Amino acid sequence: MHIQIAAVGKLKEKYLVLGIAEYAKRLGPYVKLTLTEVPDEKAPETMSAAEEAIVREREGERLLAQLKPEAHVVALALEGELWSSEDLAGQLDKLATYGRSHVAFVIGGSNGLAPNVLQRAQQKLSFGRMTLPHQLMRLVLVEQIYRAVKINRGEPYHK
């Protein structure tokens, strides 16, 4: 299975880079993991709703350009479904079983995802109602993917 995490912005914090690298290494024997970063749109700290929409749209176009047509896209969004770790494992297993071996998880920037990215997604996933920094979300997501793989293989880790 090929899993892609496409995200807006460059990871800067060393602890996040190291954490993601650790889980990517652990995932190596099981899946092909690709981490794709697209530049965030330069914008002032305070913006009108219209300016925020423009930023989301530009970042969304960059994200969409990185997704292969055959990818099954899962957008991380507050309005998405809540899955348990076992649910994520089941979703990945089902996709692999039915020939959808390229799964792309998409993480927007600080203003969220553009409507065109949400429309491209076959599924929307929420990690809860709390707002998390989009850079931290990458670490949480890659850990959960690793946990899902271990669950599907029946190997210890997920307890």
**132 assigned binding-site residue:** yes
| Helix segments in the chain, DSSP class H | 14-27, 49-65, 85-97, 115-120, 134-153
In this structure, what are the phi and psi dihedrals at residue 61, rounded to the nearest 5 degrees? -60, -40
Say which amino acid occupies 142: V
**76 assigned binding-site residue:** yes
**108 assigned binding-site residue:** yes
**90 assigned binding-site residue:** no
For residues 134 and 12, what is the distance between their CA atoms, to the nearest angstrom? 12
**47 assigned binding-site residue:** no
Residue 130 per-residue DSSP state: S
**105 assigned binding-site residue:** no
11 three-state secondary structure: coil
- Half-sphere exposure in the Cβ direction for 70 (13 Å, CA): 9
**1 assigned binding-site residue:** no
Binding-site residue set = 76, 108, 127-132
Binding-site residue set for S-adenosyl-L-methionine = 76, 108, 127-132
